[in-house]
Amino acid sequence: MIYRHLFLIGLIVSALFVALSTQQAYAEEQPIAFSHKLHTVQNGIPCQYCHLYARRSFSSGVPPVSTCIGCHGPQEQKLVKPESVEVNKMRDYWASGKPIPWVKIHDIPDFVRFPHKEHINADSNRLVNDAGAGCDIENAPRSLECILAQFRTGGDERCLACHGDLRQMDVVKQVDENFGRMGWCMECHLQVKGAKERKRASNTLDGWYHAKEMDAKREVAIGLINEKGYHNPNMLDCYTCHY
Amino acid sequence: MGVGGATAVIAGCEKKPEKLIPMLVPPTDYEYTPQTAYQYMTTCRECDAACGMMITTREHRAQKAEGNPNHPLNQGTLCARGQASLQSLYNPNRHAFPLADGKQIPWEEGIQQFSAIIKAASGAIAYLGKPASGSEGRFVDEWLKAAGGGQRVKFNLLTQNSQTAANKIAFNRADIPEYAFEKAGIILNFSADFLETWGNSVENARRFTDMHVYKNGKKNRFIHISPHVSLTGAKADRWIVINPGTEGLVALAIAAVMREKNGSHKFLKNYLAAYTPEKVTEATGVSVEVMRELANDAMEHGPVLALGGGNVSATDQSVETLVAVNILNSVSGALDKTIRFYNQTVPESSTHQDLTQLISDLEAGKIKLLIIDDSNPVYALPPSMGFKQALKNAFVVSMASQKSETSHLANLVLPALTAYESWGDAFPRSGVRSIQQPVMSTVNTFDAKAREDVLLSVAQNVNKKAFPGNSSYLDYLQNIWKRIQREVGDKRKFDSFWISVLENGGFFENSKYKRVTLSRKVTSVKVNDPGLIGKDGLTLLPTTSLLIGDGSGANKPWLQEVPHPMSQIVWDSWVEINPDTAQKLGINDRAIIEVTTPHGSVNATAYYHFGIHRNAIAIPMGQGHQNSGDVADGFGINVMNLLSGRMDNAGNFALVDTQATLKMVNEKSYTVNTDGNARQLGRDIAAATTVEELNSGGEKHGGHKRPVEFYPDRSETAGYYKPYRWGMTIDLDRCNGCSACVVACYAENNIPVVGKVRTALGREMSWIRMERYIEGYGDDFETRFSPMLCQHCGNAGCETVCPVYATYHNPEGLNAMIYNRCVGTRYCSNNCAYKVRRFNWFDYEFPSPLDQQLNSTITTREVGVMEKCTFCVQRIQTAKYDAKNLGRDLEDGEVVTACQQTCPTKAITFGNLMDTESKVSKNALRDETEKRDRQYEVLAELNYKPAITYLKKVNTRVVLGHESDRHDSQEQEETHG
């Protein structure tokens, strides 16, 4: 009996813990109180000014310290914000030749190959026509509709679609509790033209028996070939990201 | 501080937040994008062949070595040792800091000590190093002059110097010529291991395959005339067993018959009359008919290419033997056809005689300071020469990058950089100038400096006038290349010339040749029977392994872990012995035997091998280290401990002049081999056909007709194979078993090395393995090789039994393995007929800094996960993304798997089977005439529908006792493990 109680208590405690922990977005104390809000909104710096590899590489790249120094200047010059305690911390790192040990907030598991560049350069016309319609940015900024709408807008908005509205953050937070989980990725990827059809097409008995006659029809339906004539990548195959 | 709960609790495992460490200053755009491959051209320095390499670096870490496609020698491919050169760079057993008498000292102190001792030695200096074809030799010579005098002693255990001596006698050219295998119609090989360690094995393999492969209904022949069948001999159409050391006599007998018929070289008439088949048949053990038959074959099928040299023919008469081979080449008209001498200044070579001189100088106290580079004479020289003892008479400075027996005895160790981190060059032959550039900065765990830079700064310490204007070896090198630029008539600014040299990996022109004729002096060369058979005991043949080489490969985990293709033994030495001899002596296969020669005695494992003379045993070189690091030490035995140190006329070791007696010590040994059974038992995994069969015109034998099926094929089901179905063909007629593909796969796919004990438990992790099967018995046996990897079946056994859908058939025909879904039931492995799935029984270690080599574009697997060949899916994905960004589909040849890329003979083709024009389709399509009768699928009767099509090996004969008529020969089976 006592064990059953313990078990129940355990359940409740863990449920509470999950509930509590999901209330607050994941964030960590950073070595320097760098504010994305200050840099992007007040100073109007676009994301890729600093994260310059995002459109060129799998990795967006952590900005090198020389990028900071480029505007703020080293100790002896002190160009921008000469008296700021936090900026001086950065100047100290630069002077001592040490990199800044930022803490990673947006982390995806090591068995996922996520290409930033393919997302930055993606053609938003591949999304189904009504993707992003009905976005209520005021009340549900992190709804699927709004994420898709942001992605469609492109530019910096596209970064925010996944990373949350960094323009409003003094401390970087992970706003979606499911960030980096496969279901979270798939929510959007199923909004790609032909994705749902492609998902249904494989391995059903119907598919096997009527393979030949359905072949041509399905090819069009699943958007195998784009208007330029080359084949669209299959984003529903496990091997696309896990290898 | 936020709460890290959300992900942590639900994922069920605690995870510390990772750090994001930025760079201080990034390199320019052109040199750095994270997670993106950058390629640098350089030169491989693992052996003297100087192949070009293209190193893939990511985040400025070298991660993969490939051949430089521009390089005329290896043309984009590499051997197993070249692939493993990465493990020289990241070897945990590199010297990490300067040592004085075994204690760590700072560099300044090391340099100070070194300068002081140079001053004190006042010219009594010796520099012991490898012979250098490039600028390094010249630099050291100048350095010695600047340092007050001294001598350079060149040393290489495996040297082709006897050949150059024989060429000097026969053609008045002390040089190694070009061997144009592809122009030959028949190859007579007198014990040269040209696919392993003789010359440039990569180039040899490519050119040999061009000649030997089945095409246009024809196959040129390769005759192996030797007491020993090595990996090279295994590719031969016929093996002629000769008594050890009688290669020269057979060559002359064949030459005598040929000369009689073609009447060339009249001055040889009397000379060759002393070597007719009748006169040499007793000494050589080859019948008169066979020698006459060989001569007739050679005349009929010419042009001839006769090859000699290498370890197995290195008796004290090896120069005479090689002169005899030269005579055969001249008589048969091979000169200027299949053998062409270069018009060049001869690259440096070394003799072992120099070492004898050095040792006596050391003993006499004539040398106060001995500087040694990465060569390892303490290990490589027979102990009877007394090198180790003589070292005590001088101050020894080791400038080696790797730990070795030699650097262990040094008074001062100044760690050098590897070829990946330093400058250099090599001019292996006329028209080929190859550059070696640092492809990355020094591996951060090692405080090492470039050898030449240290020498330079020390010389400038002791002599203000030394190397004026040169602040580093790079300056010196560039001065030499400025001269080269003038020589070749390049009018550009030096900077643009230099950049083009670095981009291409060197400067390449057509080779210049020089005609030669056979000198009349050869008639004074007497070729004698060394009479090794008449003596007591068995003749010891020290062979070389194409993986370990002269011993420098032994500290590389990959080369120890990959089974030797012939014996399939890992992490060990063995004694090859003919089963007939062994049974006479009462020695079991895999017994521990004591091998005793007048010079020493070792215990090693007996290995039954049909391919060895009944009065000989063979032991591979390169194992049995004592101070070369954890991976090398204590595995196997050093065959040099059994040798006399006697030399031939050219001053090279007479490796074959020792008789050994054997005694069984223990019936069983702990020797680990991965082959399980050497016999196919009727499974026809490595299938072969014959030229006659292919040309018979009757019913075709190849091509498997699949049964009519109830279910539609996957290709007809929407969503599959549009537009790609990845497939591979492996041409067994081209494959020679060199195992470069196996090492390349280890390097590309982060495959852990598990060691001897776990390999014994069947837990080796190789994704591709080189299967070796033996057909026939006795002298008439055949060896077959077949690379075995995941077949990416269209109807796979593994997929249907996976309870969690971790392995499935991907729309592009790949048998996908999703690590993060895998729960480790291992059902898939049990249901795989090809046994190519590997399970991670542990979290395998990649001891630092070997972990820096890991390919960062794929997952490194953890414990409890199944893994296997992916057809290099990371390369497919990268190529697909690149093509997509260019707005097109992939083209044929854009995706190259690691195994295919490195194959010196281009045995592997990979590509899209749905594209009927692709190379792989043409090889695999069943109605293509050339290959139709050779195509087969391994274990096709299981209807797994593999995506790999093998092409049968083409033989010129059928060996007796072929498996198909001997299913019940259990007894014979056991005699050949």
For the segment A196-223, what is each residue's pLDDT rounded down to a tens digit? 776 665 555 665 566 566 666 666 666 6
Q: What's the ipTM?
A: 0.87
pLDDT at B475 (0 to 100)? 95
pLDDT at B697 (0 to 100)? 66
**Which residues on B lie below 8 Å from A228 (Cβ)?**
887
Subunit contact A180:B33, Cβ cutoff 8 A:
no
Distance, in Å, from the CA atom of B472 to the CA atom of B549, rounded to the nearest integer, reads 32
What pLDDT digit, counting tens, does each position of B565-613 carry? 999 999 999 999 999 999 999 999 999 999 999 999 999 999 999 999 9
Work out the average pLDDT over A4-28. Answer: 53
pLDDT at B932 (0 to 100)? 66
pLDDT at B705 (0 to 100)? 55
The reply to whether B20 touches chain A by the CB within 8 Å rule is yes
**Which residues on A lie below 8 Å from B5 (Cβ)?**
17-18, 20-22, 26
* Contact (CB, 8 A) for B904 and B717: no
pLDDT at B693 (0 to 100)? 85
**Which residues on A lie below 8 Å from B812 (Cβ)?**
234, 237, 239
Tokens, residue B70? 């521009």
Identify each DSSP E strand in B242-368 by its residue range.
Answer: 304-308, 339-342
Coil, strand or helix: which one is A50?
A: helix
B177 prior amide bond cis, ω within 30:
no
What pLDDT digit, counting tens, does each position of A19-75 carry? 444 445 788 889 999 999 999 999 999 999 999 899 999 998 889 999 999 999 998
Q: How many Cβ atoms sit within 10 Å of the Cβ of residue B725?
A: 23
Minimal-distance CA residue of chain B relative to A122: B885
What ranges in B653-751 are assigned the alpha helix state H?
691-695, 740-748
DSSP annotation of B860: P
Distance, in Å, from the CA atom of B815 to the CA atom of A173, rounded to the nearest integer, reads 39
Tell me the shortest Cα–Cα distance from B885 to chain A, in angstroms: 8
Nearest to B785 by CA among B777, B775, B794, B776: B775
> Mind listing the domains of chain B with CATH numbers?
99-151+363-429+431-508 (3.40.50.740), 161-342 (3.40.228.10), 538-667 (2.40.40.20), 688-706+725-965 (3.30.70.20)
Helix (H) or strand (E) holding B666: strand B659-666
To probe the interface with A, which of B1, B3, B32, B857 has the most A CB atoms within 10 Å?
B3
pLDDT at B871 (0 to 100)? 96
Statement: the pTM of the whole predicted model exceeds 0.90: yes
The reply to whether A32 touches chain B by the CB within 8 Å rule is no
* Contact (CB, 8 A) for B170 and B308: no
Helix (H) or strand (E) holding B476: helix B473-487
pLDDT at B977 (0 to 100)? 37
**Which residues on B lie below 8 Å from A22 (Cβ)?**
5-6
Tokens, residue A229? 């004539």
Q: How many Cβ atoms sit within 10 Å of the Cβ of residue B5?
A: 18
pLDDT at A208 (0 to 100)? 57
B826-831 contacts, C-beta under 8 A, 24 or more apart = B826/B866, B827/B798, B827/B801, B827/B802, B827/B803, B828/B797, B828/B798, B828/B799, B828/B801, B828/B802, B828/B866, B829/B798, B829/B866, B830/B801, B831/B797, B831/B798, B831/B800, B831/B801
Question: Terminal CA-to-CA distance of chain A, rounded, Å?
Answer: 47
To probe the interface with B, which of A116, A118, A203, A231 has the most B CB atoms within 10 Å?
A231
Tell me the shortest Cα–Cα distance from A135 to chain B, in angstroms: 26
Minimal-distance CA residue of chain A relative to B818: A242
* Contact (CB, 8 A) for B807 and B818: yes
Subunit contact A237:B816, Cβ cutoff 8 A:
yes
* Contact (CB, 8 A) for B749 and B767: yes
Distance, in Å, from the CA atom of B652 to the CA atom of B643, rounded to the nearest integer, reads 13
Subunit contact A26:B6, Cβ cutoff 8 A:
yes
The reply to whether B1 touches chain A by the CB within 8 Å rule is yes
Please tell me which of the candidates A25, A28, A198 has its beta carbon nearest to residue B719. A198
| CA–centroid distance for B106 within its chain | 37
Identify each DSSP E strand in B368-430 by its residue range.
Answer: 369-372, 395-398, 412-413, 424-429
The reply to whether B795 touches chain A by the CB within 8 Å rule is no
Please tell me which of the candidates B34, B816, B858 has its beta carbon nearest to residue A61. B34
Tell me the shortest Cα–Cα distance from B112 to chain A, in angstroms: 29
Subunit contact A22:B712, Cβ cutoff 8 A:
no
Higher model confidence: residue B189 or residue A9?
A: B189
Edge-first strand order for the sheet with B424-429 is: B424-429, B432-436, B506-508
The reply to whether A96 touches chain B by the CB within 8 Å rule is no
- The DSSP bridge partners found for residue B731 are B951
Please tell me which of the candidates B17, B718, B818 has its beta carbon nearest to residue A219. B718
| CA–centroid distance for B147 within its chain | 38
Tokens, residue B569? 């033994």
**Which residues on A lie below 8 Å from B9 (Cβ)?**
14, 17-18, 21
What pLDDT digit, counting tens, does each position of A146-172 carry? 999 999 998 899 999 999 999 999 999
pLDDT under 70: residue ranges of chain B? 1-15, 29-30, 697-709, 711-712, 716-719, 926-932, 960-977
Distance, in Å, from the CA atom of B363 to the CA atom of B366, rounded to the nearest integer, reads 8
**Which residues on A lie below 8 Å from B868 (Cβ)?**
none
The reply to whether A114 touches chain B by the CB within 8 Å rule is no
pLDDT at B190 (0 to 100)? 95
